[in-house]
Structure 1
Amino acid sequence: MNKTLVKLFLRIGLGAGFLSAVADRLGYWPANISAWGNWESFISYTRIINPWLPSSFIEPVGLIVTALEILFGVFLIIGFRTGFIAKLSGYLILIFGLSIALSTGIKGAFDYSVFAASGAAFALSKMKGKFLEIDAILKINP
C-alpha cells in the first residue's frame, strides 16, 4: 500500500475513532454496542481513570476532552493542520492510555490498543505530502 493511502487511512481511522467515542458518550450508539452509552457513564469512567483529580474537575475535564476529540476528529478527517493535530492527538491518546494504566492496570490500555493509536497519531504527524487534505487547498505546510 502506498504512503498516500496509508496517511489517508490513518487520518480517517483516528478521526472517526474520536468522533465515534464522542457519539457513544452522547448516546448516539445503540446500547448493545456502546462503551458508555451516555454522558453520566462517561463521567463516571473519567472519575475512575483520574482518581487524583478533585471531583469538581471531572466534569470540566470530560467536557474539554470531548471538545478536543470533536475538533481533532473533524480536523483529521478533512486534513486541516494534519501534522500538528496528529501530534496533539497522539498526546491526548497517550494521556488517556497512561490514565487507564495507572488507575486500573495496563491490561485495559493494551486491550483497547490505546498505545497503538497514540503511536499511529505520532506516525501520522511525521508523514509528509498531501492527499485529499484541506491543507493542500489552503497551501498550509506541515
Structure 2
Amino acid sequence: MTDTKTQFPQLFLRLALSVTMLSAVADRFGWWSPENSSWGNMKSFEEYTRSLTSFLPEALSTFSAYAATSLEIVFPLMLLVGFKTRIAAYGSSILLLIFAVSMTIALGSKAPLNYSVWVGSAAALLLAVQQQYSFSIDQLTKK
C-alpha cells in the first residue's frame, strides 16, 4: 500500500531536483538568455570546472566537466520518469556532494551555499532512502 501523505512531496522533490540539474545543463548549452546565464556555453563551464579542479591535469579536468554534464542529464531524466530512482537519487546526491566540496575548497564556503548545492545533495539523499517511489516506472514494474 502506498503512503498517500508522501506521494506528492516525493514527486515534487523528484521534479525539483530534475529541473534544477537540467537547468544547469541548459545553461552550459547556451539555452538560457545571457542575463539568466552563469556560463552560457560549454567552454566557459570547462574553465569553471578547471577552477574547481585545479589539482587535476587539464585533460582530466576537462573530462570531469563532460562527465558531470553527462551525469547531470542522465540522473535527472531517470528521476523524472522514476526509473531506477534509488540509483539516480544516490548518484545525484554524490555528484552534488562532489560539487559542494569542490566549490568549498576552491571558492570558499559561500559559493555552494548561494547555489544550495548542499541542500540539493541532502535532498537527493533523502529521496534515495525512500521505501517506494510513487508515480514512477519503478512502481509500475514492481512485482
Structure 2 length as normaliser, TM-score? 0.93
Say whether 1:50 aligns with 2:50. Answer: no
Which amino acid counterpart does residue 38 of structure 2 have in structure 1?
A
Structure 1 residue 57: Cα displacement: 1.1
2:92 alignment partner, one of 84, 89, 94 = 89
The match for 2:103 is 100
Contact 2:76 2:88 in 1 (8 A): no
Q: Which moved more, 1:94-103 or 1:52-61?
A: 52-61
Aligned residue for 1:30? 33
* Structure-1 separation of matches of 2:132 and 2:76: 20
User: Cα deviation per residue 1:7-66 (whole Å; 9 max; x = unaligned)?
Assistant: 101100111111111111010111110111111111110001111111111221111111
Cα separation, 2, equivalents of 1:41 and 1:84: 30
Contact 2:28 2:42 survives alignment (8 Å):
yes
Q: Number of residues paired by the alignment?
A: 140
Letter in 2 for 1:43: E
Instruction: For residue 2 of structure 1, give the secondary structure of its aligned residue in structure 2.
Output: helix
Displacement of 1:137 in angstroms is 1.7
Describe the superposition over 1:93-115 as per-residue Cα deviations: whole angstroms up to 9, x where unpaired.
00000000001101101111110
Are the equivalent residues in 1 in contact too, given 2:22–2:72 (CA < 8 A)? yes
Paired with 1:88 and 1:46, the residues of 2 have a C-alpha distance of: 19
RMSD of aligned alpha carbons: 1.4
Partners of 1:62 and 1:32 lie apart in 2 by 23
Where do 5+ consecutive residues of structure 1 fail to align? Answer: none
> Matched residues in 2 for 1:4 and 1:127: separation?
11
Counterpart AA for 1:28: W
Identity of aligned residues (%): 38
SS in 1 for 2:23: helix
2:120 paired with 1:135:
no
2:93 and 2:121 in contact (8 A); partners too: yes
Q: In terms of mean alpha carbon deviation, does 77-86 or 90-99 score higher? A: 77-86
Distance in 2 separating the partners of 1:39 and 1:52 = 20
Give the match's secondary structure for 1:51. Answer: coil
- Would you say 1:116 and 2:119 are equivalent positions? yes
Q: What is the rounded CA distance, in whole Å, between the counterparts of 2:111 and 2:5 in structure 1?
A: 32
In structure 1, distance between residues paired with 2:76 and 2:38: 18
